[in-house]
Chain A
Amino acid sequence: MNVLVIGATSAIAKAVSRLYAGRGERLFLIARDKQRLKEMAEDLTVRGADSVSTSTLDLLQHDQHSKAIETAVSFLGSIDVALVCHGVLPDQERSEEDFAAAAEALDVNGLSVISLVTELATTMKQQGNGKIAVITSVAGDRGRQPNFVYGAAKAMVSTYLQGLRGKLLSHGVEVIDIRPGLVDSPMTAHLDKSVLFSSPETVASKIVKSIDRNRHTVYAPGYWRFIMLIVGSIPEVIFKRLKF
């Protein structure tokens, strides 16, 4: 199987790539940091990947996206699974005061994802098969005070994927929206950890299973579906007063 991983150096992407490497798949990795991509390619090769190639890309340069996907296709031949993982947890307070910061957060977590998904959809439509899996977040389910800029970007992507899923149905292309809860990774290193945090490995095995089984919207771990169901059912009168 040929797997493309975008935002490959994120903790979740790393864990997912290792699972695919262990299964002997071919991998193409895209991220910003060349050194880390090199390290990751070596790691995945030791872990059993059939072959690994990488390419650097600044994901905010939307006009480079099309070329990046082309490079991936020329290495992989065809893309069976494309996983879009990149994201940044912005400083919420700063984004509220400074729109430029908010715009950048919305771009990294939202627009750049949609740009890449557009390219992937085109490629996979031509192939007549493939799976597009995108890491969104439970933060997109309801706007909460501590992270609604991040949440808004993720919600935008989730809504986009919902529509795209139907559009690609007749082309044999699957669209999988993965919503992790709190993940204990370098992105959340500054936060205090509670029992609600899961390891990137736990989330990764759920992701790989969900892609294998062509799921639509996946909460990882699964209990986040119930947590968000409860969070979603709190009346706004009360919710607007909650600071969590």
Chain B
Amino acid sequence: MQLEGWGRYPRVDAELIEPATAQALIKLLDESKEQSTLIARGAGRSYGDSSLNAQVLSSRFLDSFSSFHEESAKIRCHSGVTIDELLKVSIPKGLFPAVVPGTKQVSIGGAIAADIHGKNHHRDGSFCDHVESLTLALADGEIKTCSAKKNKELFHASCGGMGLTGVILDATLVLEKVPSVFIRSQAIATHNLAHTIEQLETLNDNKFVVAWIDCLARGEALGRGIVHTGEYAEDAPMEYVRRWGPSVPFSTPSLMLNRYSMSWFNNLYYWLYNRPSNVDLDSYDSFFFPLDSIKHWNRLYGRKGFLQYQFLLPEDSAQQGMQAVLERVADAGKGSFLAVLKKFGAANENLLSFPGPGLTLTLDFKYESSLFPLLEELDEVVIDHGGRHYLAKDARLSAETFKAGYPNWPRFKAVKDKVDPQQRFSSLQSQRIGLTSAAEDKPA
């Protein structure tokens, strides 16, 4: 069948295996030892080819909870449970995941494999910083539990390890006690990049801070945007509100997304928030997961899909590097609807985790062949400024670019070779960026 990531590029022919239970999955690993390489897939929300290969192992039916202790705020569940399902159970108890990404439709297994981050990284770190332990099915079918204390090396390779160390079967997460599920938010309009970055610094005391950038603004206004901040509201209800949202039933002609419509959208967004008083009470759905309200929003980019481009630049070179990237994007006229800028906190010990001290910018571009030279140019800027790229969004990085951004890759590879010497777990991405060998040149 045809399989794709959330960005719908690339789209490949793959065999999708959906075991009904963890036991069935282990049996399958055990029986198919001699066969081709495979990669685990959760909810299919990574953008590029992280969860694509000729054989793909879905955790979709491994969606049970195992235990929930309210006092310690610990919940144990299988890897196919989504954040959406988790919220249904945790919110009634006044608990919320400590870190959530921009969509609640990701699986816990995927969140761990990509060590995802949220709008509170500077305060609370990334998803895996709140994972107490996890269970992996290794290439030989062995089950191994690991944590920051036990099988430490395997834990730090698997958190953010893009599914290459084994299949994540379950995990124990530590949730956060929250006063309500509403967020007291504020929006501050900024005039240019320096101002945006300055505001991100000043407002860093807030629990949630993120900036939207008008990536089509040029000249004086380059890098202008809206900084959003938020704190859980003390005086709001703990109710689970679910609203009906529209769905995009089919791919819309990608021509609808052109420089004129994007410029129109970016201007509208800017002027919408550019007013003196901007304090609001947002539901967690609209604050954390605004795009979830439009089902299948990825179809808006047309049949050929889109690419997301997220990178990190270290603190000291961030402003200069961002300026260079935004200039190139604006010059090419290939802006995106949503460009998001965020200041990260400290990095963790995970070998391939993306976040680290500095600024991260996310851009999305509709697929067109003329896009690739621009992205390669941006790669250069990012690497020259000492940055790196987020693997969960990537569909095209070269091995050189990846390795330049992730100096810990040889340490990761050493763990990988130890637990999976046959290189059974491999994705199109891991083959491309040189973490595993491609299927055809695998030693016999």
Interface residues of A (CB under 8 A from B): 11, 22, 35-36, 39-40, 42-43, 46-48, 186, 189, 192-193
Residue of A nearest to B22 (CB): A39
Interface centre among B20, B23, B67, by most chain A C-beta atoms within 10 angstroms, is B20
Contact B21 A36 (CB under 8 A): yes
Residue of A nearest to B17 (CB): A189
Which residues of B have CB within 8 Å of A192?
1
Shortest C-beta distance, A180 to chain B (Å), equals 17
Interface residues of B (CB under 8 A from A): 1, 18-21, 23, 61, 64-68, 75, 77, 88-89, 92
From B23, B67, B88, contact of A35 by CB (8 A): B23
From B20, B61, B75, B92, contact of A48 by CB (8 A): B92
Contact B64 A22 (CB under 8 A): no
From B18, B21, B89, contact of A46 by CB (8 A): B89
Q: How far is the CA of A243 from the CA of B61 in the complex (A)?
A: 31
Contact A42 B67 (CB under 8 A): yes
Contacts A36-B21, A48-B92, A186-B18; A43 near B1 (Cβ below 8 A) = no
Which residues of A have CB within 8 Å of B20?
186, 189
Which residues of B have CB within 8 Å of A46?
65-68, 75, 77, 89
Q: How far is the CA of A59 from the CA of B19 in the complex (A)?
A: 23
Shortest C-beta distance, B172 to chain A (Å), equals 13
Shortest C-beta distance, A154 to chain B (Å), equals 22
Which residues of B have CB within 8 Å of A43?
64-66
Q: How far is the CA of A42 from the CA of B65 in the complex (A)?
A: 7
Contact B23 A186 (CB under 8 A): no
Shortest C-beta distance, B27 to chain A (Å), equals 13
Shortest C-beta distance, A197 to chain B (Å), equals 13
Which residues of B have CB within 8 Å of A47?
65, 88-89
Additional 18 contacts, C-beta under 8 A, given A36-B21, A43-B64: A11-B61, A35-B21, A35-B23, A39-B21, A43-B66, A46-B65, A46-B66, A46-B68, A46-B75, A46-B77, A46-B89, A47-B65, A47-B88, A48-B92, A186-B18, A186-B19, A186-B20, A192-B1
Shortest C-beta distance, B126 to chain A (Å), equals 25
Which residues of B have CB within 8 Å of A186?
18-20, 61
Residue of A nearest to B20 (CB): A186
Q: How far is the CA of A46 from the CA of B70 in the complex (A)?
A: 10
List 10 A-B pairs, minimum CB-CB distance, nearest first: A46-B65, A43-B64, A186-B20, A46-B68, A43-B65, A42-B66, A189-B18, A39-B64, A46-B89, A47-B89
